[in-house]
Chains A and B, each alone.
Chain A
């Protein structure tokens, strides 16, 4: 075998044409991809940096890019060398379109020269996909675990209501107007159970805990899904009510809450009765919405309610001070 024949056999993607573009020989893999080729111009179109180039110009280019006319999605790249007789020999390759070409033309490892890294490339491609699949599975599991942990971190384990951290998060979301499409004003209601300590002392902590759960259920029943209900301490609750800033509406709601909580509860075979006092801070009464300010104002209003009796609701004056309370003073007694 002479060198010429040997060289062409080593290149399954070669193309040998004469000066007129007639194909003298084509590699086996190239033929699998573009079909039998007789004429260069009929089979290929130079594209990219060599678009419109003649055979002589292709021989001068450092890299040639040829689009297959039979399969226009397929661009081969390679190099052409001019021969003494005016002909050209091309050695072509698949470049980055390798994976697709292999799929489209059902190529196998026999179609590539053993020195070609095509199989290694394909191996890496598959290995990469397999690892990515595995990793995204692992990520999903982690994400789920994170969500669970987060939900636990923001939940009061006894009642399933929000805890203090969950409450602050909801407050922050409200403050930034992200919880609702239309950011508006809201009310922060601090609630404290009346006669709870007596219940706890007389009937034991288990009954006390059951009562707290009962209160949580009643609060859930009476509020909307957009409201946040939190238990922030032993028998202390906080409600965040978006969209409600009218004192009269709040007093109305307060009365409903107190009535609901005062309804007799049957726990461990005996009926117990408690009540609740409420203190409210309304965001529209503040120039600057601040968590600790609103919380302590709601607490102060709550203490006032407790001082004045049981089952009462008092509204904090906010920035306006006591003087601004004239018409808005809460009188939510039941």
Chain B
């Protein structure tokens, strides 16, 4: 797994729960608490152990934590901008999620994101990512954050190995401002 994934977990833990939580979780997971090596391929089990330890410390389940991390990552201004590039509205964002894996690879050869297939529903979409439960929750977290970003009222529900996105109100509010040309617009 790419070091960037573990780095995201580290930043999330530090910023959301404090350095002490990160240090304790990293030590328990056998990871150098000074910080994750960014560009190194890391054992898949590292992320799993980190999630497990952090979840235990903050009192939630690893999938719940993955959902929080997904939403948090999608709100980092650099990532949020890259995600917004995928579509001018929430509908085109969701329907082009099958490109996400290719976009990620374009940027970082070794960053393996799950392939996502998107099927339309009467009032939304059914997403079926080829991934485990933790990634599924992380992706649902990203979708929550991006629905808010686009100003769309969306109900996002995990059912089995799929995510159901139901959009009862398309223009719920203005959403967060975004400009392709000006990174300061809508920046946190």
Q: Are A126 and B181 in contact (CB under 8 A)?
A: no
Q: Are B88 and A108 in contact (CB under 8 A)?
A: yes
Which B residues are CB-close (under 8 A) to A103? 181-182
Which B residues are CB-close (under 8 A) to A119? 85, 180
Interface string of A274-310 (1 = CB under 8 A from B): 0000000000000000000000000000000000000
Which A residues are CB-close (under 8 A) to B34? 145
Q: Are B78 and A123 in contact (CB under 8 A)?
A: no
Interface residue A253 (Cβ < 8 Å from any Cβ of B): no
Q: Are A107 and B39 in contact (CB under 8 A)?
A: no
Q: Are B39 and A126 in contact (CB under 8 A)?
A: no
Interchain CB contact (< 8 A) of B82 among A108, A127, A145:
A127
Interface string of B1-16 (1 = CB under 8 A from A): 0001001000000000
Which A residues are CB-close (under 8 A) to B61? none
Give the interface residue-count category, chain B.
20 to 34
A124 to B81: give the CA distance in the assembly, Å.
11
Measured CB to CB, the nearest residue on chain B to A101 is B181
Measured CB to CB, the nearest residue on chain A to B108 is A131
Q: Are B82 and A135 in contact (CB under 8 A)?
A: no
Q: Are A130 and B180 in contact (CB under 8 A)?
A: no
A160 to B35: give the CA distance in the assembly, Å.
28
Interface residue A252 (Cβ < 8 Å from any Cβ of B): no
* Minimum distance in angstroms from A142 CB to a CB of chain B: 9
* B residues 93-108 in Cβ contact with A at 8 Å: 103, 106-108
Q: Are B39 and A109 in contact (CB under 8 A)?
A: no
Interface residue A138 (Cβ < 8 Å from any Cβ of B): yes
Measured CB to CB, the nearest residue on chain A to B37 is A138
Interface string of B134-164 (1 = CB under 8 A from A): 0000000000000000000000000000000
* Minimum distance in angstroms from B175 CB to a CB of chain A: 15
Q: Are B85 and A126 in contact (CB under 8 A)?
A: yes
Which A residues are CB-close (under 8 A) to B106? 120, 123-124, 127
Q: Which residues of B contact A (CB under 8 A)?
A: 4, 7, 34-35, 38-39, 78-79, 81-82, 85, 88, 103, 106-108, 179-183
Q: Which residues of A contact B (CB under 8 A)?
A: 102-103, 106-110, 119-120, 122-124, 126-131, 133-135, 138, 141, 145
Can you give 15 contacting A-B residue pairs, CB < 8 Å? A102-B180, A106-B179, A110-B88, A119-B180, A122-B180, A124-B106, A124-B107, A126-B78, A126-B183, A130-B78, A134-B38, A135-B38, A135-B39, A141-B35, A145-B34
